[in-house]
Structure formats: C-alpha cells, structure tokens
Structure 1
Amino acid sequence: MVDSPSEHHGSNVNFSFLHAADLHLGSPLLGLSVKDPEIARRFATASREAFRALIDRAISAKVAFAVIAGDIYDGEWKDNTVGLFFNREISRLTREGVPVYIIKGNHDAESVVTKTVPKPDGVTVFGTRKAETHRIEHLKVAVHGWSYEDRATAADFSLSYPAAVPGWFNIGVLHSSCEGKSAHATYAPCSVQELSSHEYQYWALGHIHEHKVLSRDPWIVYPGNLQGRSVRECGAKGAVIVEVRDGEVRAVERAIVDSARWAAITVDVSSLTTETEVTAAVRKEAESTIADLGERLLALRVTLTGETSLHDRLRAAASTLRDEVQAVLHHVHEDTWLEKLEVRTSAPLEPQERALGGLDPIAMLAGLTDDIELRQSAGEIVGTLLEKLPQSFSEVPELNDIDMLMAEARSLVVARATAGKAV
C-alpha cells in the first residue's frame, strides 16, 4: 500500500473503488508449447480465472464502484461465449449494487468488436463521439471518459476532457500511451503535464501492461493487465483498489489476481563442466523465482549462456536437456512448466581466433548486452520497426526479445570477425 501526499480535494465522503484495465478476455497465450493437454487448457483459461478472482476481490473489499480503462476483449469474438462470460461475471458486481464504468480501448473499439450481448443494469459504457461525464451523486464523484471508435487512434483524447467538477472527486478514464517509450504501440498519446492540468484527483489509465504510477499529485496510474499472456509479460498481474478519504487518495493497493504467471531466468554455465551441474544451476536459479508462486501455474523460460566446452553437447542433446530441466523444475514446484529452453552458449574460441590484429572481439563485446543505454536504443529501434509491420508481428515473442536479439547480434559480429581472420 502506498500513501499519497496530503491535500484536500472537496468531498468528505470515504469510499474505495476498483481500477482495472487490459483484461484481454479471449486472448490466446503466446509461445507456450506444453505437451500435456490438460495443462495447456489451464493456461488457456487463465484470463477468465483472473477475472473471476478480480470480481471476488472487489466484492470482498466492498468497493463503491469499478472503472475499467479499456481492452476488456482481445478483439472480435469468434462467438458470443466471451461476451456472455464477461456479462455474467460483471453482473455479480452490479447485483451487489456496485456500478461499473467502462471505456473501449484499441482492442475492443466499436470498429473491432461488432458483436454484442445485453449489458446488465449498472454498467455504463462511455460513448465514442466525445468525452462524457457521469456523476455518482451520493459520493460526489465525477467520472470522465471517452471510448475508442476506431482501433488506430493517434489523437490526444485527453485534450478534450472536460474541466473538473468543483468540490467533487474527479476521475479521468483514458486508454492511452502516456509518456515514455514501451513495447506497446502508441495510441492516443498524452503527457503527465496535460493530464495534471485538468485538476482531476485520479487518472485511471489503460493500455500499458505494467503496473506504473506516473504521478502522485494528481495520481496517474496504470494497473497493468490482469493476466500475463506470454513471456513478454512476466511477474505478478492484477488491478488496483483505490482508497479515498476526505476527498483525497489515501492509498493505491495492488490486487494481484493472476492465475498463471510467466517468468524468465538466465543461467551462466561458463564455469560448469557436466550436464548435471547445468541442471543443478537451473534449479538453484529457479528456486527464488518460484518462491512466491503459491498455487499458480508458472511458465518459465530458461536461457543458458556463457562460453563453455559443453556448447556442442548441450545443443546436440537439446531434447533430452529440456526433459531434464522440466524434471528439476517440478522438483521445486509441481506446477512450473518449461515455456522454452534456449541454449545461447558459445564454444570456446581458439587462441588464434581471439587475437585479431591484437584485438580481442570477445573482450570488446563483453558487457554490451548489459549496457542500459544500448538496450534502450535497441528497444526503440525494434519498437519503431514493429509499428510499421502488421499488428500480428508485435505478438511474436522472438521479435520483442531484446536479450535474444542482442545475443544473436554479438554472435554474428564474432563469427564475421573470426571468418575475416581466417581469410
């Protein structure tokens, strides 16, 4: 729980509300190749289980209302199943007298999701023509929002949001890329300065799949997505519950509800001499990652790195090694599943290969993959390229894995350098 600065903002009614975003119901999990069909099914239903858990959490917390800042769905439905599921679960809130306020994001814009099912009483979906304000009279809360009409939205919606209602607690609901660069495509970009100028007490943002607090005066918050969908979305996922006392935000508490989790570990095997030592090192590295998992499923990517004499054996026995790594992961936690095993080791270079005109390419390139500025620049270049490609390319894990791309670039440079020396 995080305490906010103390500043009075009108209403003296005390309440809490739920802020969620990016549910992506109906989204497939990407990059997971589990042989057991039952385990694959459990991963596939993770987003639904997370949403059920979120409704349970909201009811137990006795929230006064809920705000969903876009991307309830992942796109057009194949059938009405996903829409019926959402309406059934959200009705659990409305039956408790908890109103729900929704904006449509780029994934569930009116031009994308055309199928509908009747929404329950107590659910308000903001329009697409302009920013609207809906008031919760007994709480003196004004909720301002604007839904996407089209998926590709480059305009800054926030510029047209109305002025704050004086003496009320004002919430802006916006699906947007707010400042800073990320792996997500840029939609409805805005700035912290612009949002702050509206004098709202809280901005409920959506679109970025990480929990971020961009400002505490006013509060500008991304809750992150509800459920990780690939190894690009590692760590705990959920929403936030916001506590309001005497017209000001007193706390923003994360509500972690994911039912499956993704993680990635890297194991340096350069000092190891046997496959048994490799699997033991993987187990040791995995233990800390698995420590707070609870009863959740975990999809774990394991990457082996380092210059090692085991290189050829590790690559030749990749299938057997995968099974051995999976076995040691189950020794630690029964529901940890190997998402992918990547062998990015290299064979030791001969002395003559290292000395290229007095230069050592291995030493020269050492540490480059840990250079923060270089990684940021590489990420920006990849992000720019992906924005120019069809949407489906942005979901390919290999095209978004900076570690892998930089490691391959390093290997290519070394290979070219040593080939040049041979000539």
Structure 2
Amino acid sequence: MKQISFIHAADLHLDSPMVGLKHLPANILSRVRESTFTALRKLIAAAIDHNVDFVILAGDLYDGEDRSLRAQSRFRNEMQKLSQKDIPVYVIHGNHDHLSGSWVNLDMPPNVHFFGSDVEMKEFHTKRGETVHLYGFSYIQRHILDKRIADYQKQDPADFHIGILHGNEGGRTDHDNYAPFSIKDLLEKEFDYWALGHIHKRTILSETPPIIYPGNLQGRNRKEEGVKGCYLVTLNELEAKTEFVETSDVWWEEVTVDAASAQSFQEILQLCQLTIERLRKAGIGTLLTLNLKNVQFEDFQEKKILDTELLELLLDYENDEESFVWIVNLNLEEKQHFDRKKLMNEADFYTELFATIGDYQNPEEAIAPLYQHQLGRKYLTGLTESEQKELLEKAEKLLIGLLYQ
C-alpha cells in the first residue's frame, strides 16, 4: 500500500521581538526570546525521529519582512540537519515574510524548495516510489486580498496531492482577510490534504480530507495561549492519520481565581500559590495572567500589602525555576456590592450612565490615539468583539467604583 508521512507546520515567526516583556528577569527574557528557535529545533527533531518523507512550512517563517540574519542563520542550520537525513522541505512565504521585503539573503541548502508568487506544483518522489504533487504560492506583497484558490489545479498522475495555502477561512474577523477561501472551495479541489497557515489557533476544518491550521509553533503574547506545535501526518490510499506534536518552550496562560472565600492576606497568598503549582509543567516555562476576583478585606493594612507585596512574594522563587510560572499580569478585582436597580433609584444620573454605557458600541474610538502612534500602529492589532466587551465591562466597573466612593 502506498503511504507517505510528513510534518506540517506554519507561522514560525522566528526571532519575534516579544514586545512588552522587557520587565522580565534577564534569564527568563532571554529564554522567551529564544523560544521561537527552540520550537523550530523541536520541529526538526520530530521530523528526524519519525523519519518523515518531507516537511511543509505554510508561511510566515520570519516575523518581519526584513528577515533578520539571525533568524535566517538559525533556520539554515536546522535545514542542514534535514538535508543530512535527505528530508526535503517545501516552503511558502506569507504576509509577514512576503517576497517584496528588503533583506540580506542567506542561501539555503538544496533540500529547501520555495514556492514563487504564482501558484505552482512541485513534484516529489519518495524513496519507496510514491509520487507526491505539492501546490502553493508565496505572497508577493504583504496584502493579498483576492481569492487565489482558483489557481490551484490538480495535475495527474500522482499518488497524493497536497495543497499549501496561507490564508483566511470563512471571513474570520480575528485575522486579516488575506487570500480568503471557504472549506467548500478546498473540498472541490479533491486534494488529499490541505496544509494551511495564517491562523495561530490550532484548528481542524475538515477530517476527510484533512484541512488543518496547525497554529503557530510558539505563542508570543497572551492572545496565543496554551500549547503550540505542528502536525505529524500519515496518508495512505485508505485513510489519513494526524498527530499533534508539541513544540512550544514557553506557554501563555490566563486564569481567573475566585477569592471570595479568602478572609486574609495569608489565604489569598496560599490560593495563588496553589494555582501556580497546578499550572507548573515539567521543562516548560509559563507566562501567566492571574485574575483575582471578589477580593475583600476590611483591614486597610492587609489591603495595602495585597496591592504592593503579593506579586513580589509570588515571584520570589520563580527566577531560578526551569519550569517557571512567571506572573506577567496580576489583576485584582474587589468584590463589588453595587446593585444597579438600587443605584438607579438613588439618582437619575445612574440611569443615564447605564443607558450611555449600553449604547456605547465602539471602544476602539477611545483608544484610537494608540493606533495612530508610530509604535502603536506597528505592534497593536485590532480588538475582537469579546475584547471590546471585556474592555467596556472593566471600564464600567472602574467608573462605578470611583463614583460610588
């Protein structure tokens, strides 16, 4: 029976600057900034350990169009490891590392095959005699807004047909709508596998045939939570098998802890420590956003200590931990005793306030100056609907709390 195996990865974002983390201790910051390269090494090790026929990288190898020499050099070293094992690599470039960028080029080993700006087919023959046709294209510029799926045309004869596409499915609003397509578009091509890139959340759009976003190799901010990695894929004439392979060295996590039962600073501290130990993973670093809700103290001195010293105590021993859990955001939400109906009965002002909040639909207007700033425009992304809702809820609680005082 004819069979092939390969690794499918995407969105490596090598040498990502990890913006906003300069406050971390030097050793943890160094590990976080090295994490995209660590993830790449894990990918290559998996490919060699499983003796795959080839590797597919579905766009955004590099974090920027300048393709830093450091990123290119590290990538080339890993490709040489695959070359020594006679494992070819098929690469498309996405919107972040498009072909019109400006960079000093480092030549890659001959086992690395890049797709050009037009959809093309590359033929591969396994050592056992199977023929594979791989189809794909690289972004000629950052913004590819037109549908390119019509350019993918199945070319026989081949034992297996694999499409590689860096694009947005179904008009998702959480990512830029580059090279848009629908699941129906892909199914109509009658390929055996679709290797997708661009969406950083691991998603299986179809199982027969497999249409998969593997997500990125390494989370880079709090929006990219949890384990990250790639897929080990085995195709034969009867079925497809997919196995997720973990590659991330640092995980981002967000946890909300209800502190309503805690009556003292000591109990709050213990609650946080238990949460940290529950999240600790052997050999993995964790960057944690910890939300404490329903915090309540009648003792002013304990409240002052909570505001100033809790985080320091929680981080005290994490600096030397290989499996660190480092709190990058600690949010304290005091237990609110506000009753909307009661407040509205107290004063007409509250009725008008709640009505205004209910009618306010676009918080991005309020933070528009951030996006207009040169640095903000470069690093900030648009708010999703859930993030806008969360921002409004936090603003409401903060405003009512200040007024109620």
Task: State the TM-score, normalizing by the size of structure 2.
Answer: 0.84
Structure 2 match to 1:227: 218
The AA in structure 1 aligned to 2:140 is E
Q: CA deviation at 1:184?
A: 2.2
Of residues 36, 40, 43, the one that matches 2:32 is 43
- Measured in 2, the distance between the counterparts of 1:274 and 1:421 equals 24
Q: CA deviation at 1:357?
A: 2.2
Contact (CA 8 Å) 2:57, 2:91: kept in 1 or not?
A: yes
Distance 1:94 1:333, change over 3 A: closer
2:19 matches 1:30: yes
1:204-241 CA-to-partner distances (Å, cap 9, x unmatched) read 00011111110012210011100111111111111101
2:156 matches 1:165: yes
Structure 2 match to 1:371: none
Structure 2 match to 1:284: 274
The AA in structure 1 aligned to 2:207 is R
The AA in structure 2 aligned to 1:228 is G
Paired residues for 1:16-415 under 5 Å: 16-77=5-66, 79-128=68-117, 130-137=118-125, 138-179=129-170, 181-246=172-237, 248-290=238-280, 293-306=281-294, 308-309=296-297, 314=303, 317-327=306-316, 334-349=323-338, 354-357=342-345, 393=377, 395-396=379-380, 400=383, 406-413=389-396
Q: CA deviation at 1:303?
A: 1.2
Distance 1:237 1:182, change over 3 A: farther
User: Secondary structure, in 3 states, of the residue corresponding to 1:108?
Assistant: coil
Q: CA deviation at 1:197?
A: 0.5
Bigger mean CA offset, 79-88 vs 401-410: 401-410
Structure 1, gaps ≥5 residues long: 1-11, 366-376
Q: CA deviation at 1:306?
A: 2.2
- Measured in 2, the distance between the counterparts of 1:207 and 1:150 equals 15
Task: State the TM-score, normalizing by the size of structure 1.
Answer: 0.81
Question: How many percent identity over aligned positions?
Answer: 27
- Measured in 2, the distance between the counterparts of 1:29 and 1:143 equals 33
Contact (CA 8 Å) 1:73, 1:107: kept in 2 or not?
A: yes
The AA in structure 2 aligned to 1:142 is H
Q: CA deviation at 1:195?
A: 0.7
The AA in structure 2 aligned to 1:254 is F
Q: CA deviation at 1:105?
A: 0.3
User: Secondary structure, in 3 states, of the residue corresponding to 1:357?
Assistant: helix
Q: CA deviation at 1:135?
A: 0.8
Q: CA deviation at 1:285?
A: 2.9
The AA in structure 1 aligned to 2:88 is P
Contact (CA 8 Å) 1:307, 1:345: kept in 2 or not?
A: yes
Contact (CA 8 Å) 1:356, 1:421: kept in 2 or not?
A: no
Contact (CA 8 Å) 1:23, 1:227: kept in 2 or not?
A: yes
User: Secondary structure, in 3 states, of the residue corresponding to 1:25?
Assistant: coil
Structure 2 match to 1:370: none
Distance 1:145 1:283, change over 3 A: same
Bigger mean CA offset, 272-281 vs 199-208: 272-281
Q: CA deviation at 1:122?
A: 1.4
Distance 1:323 1:94, change over 3 A: same
The AA in structure 2 aligned to 1:201 is D
Higher relative contact order, structure no. (Cα contacts within 8 Å, ≥ 6 residues apart): 1
Distance 1:413 1:38, change over 3 A: closer
- Measured in 2, the distance between the counterparts of 1:401 and 1:279 equals 33
Bigger mean CA offset, 108-117 vs 253-262: 108-117
- Measured in 1, the distance between the counterparts of 2:257 and 2:198 equals 32
- Measured in 1, the distance between the counterparts of 2:401 and 2:327 equals 35
Contact (CA 8 Å) 1:206, 1:222: kept in 2 or not?
A: yes
Q: CA deviation at 1:419?
A: 8.3
1:39-93 CA-to-partner distances (Å, cap 9, x unmatched) read 2111110111111111111001000011100000001347522111111111111
Contact (CA 8 Å) 1:109, 1:148: kept in 2 or not?
A: yes
Contact (CA 8 Å) 1:75, 1:113: kept in 2 or not?
A: no
Instruction: Provide the alpha-carbon RMSD of the alignment.
Output: 3.6
Bigger mean CA offset, 152-161 vs 328-337: 328-337
- Measured in 2, the distance between the counterparts of 1:242 and 1:310 equals 58
Structure 2, gaps ≥5 residues long: 355-360
Contact (CA 8 Å) 2:282, 2:323: kept in 1 or not?
A: no
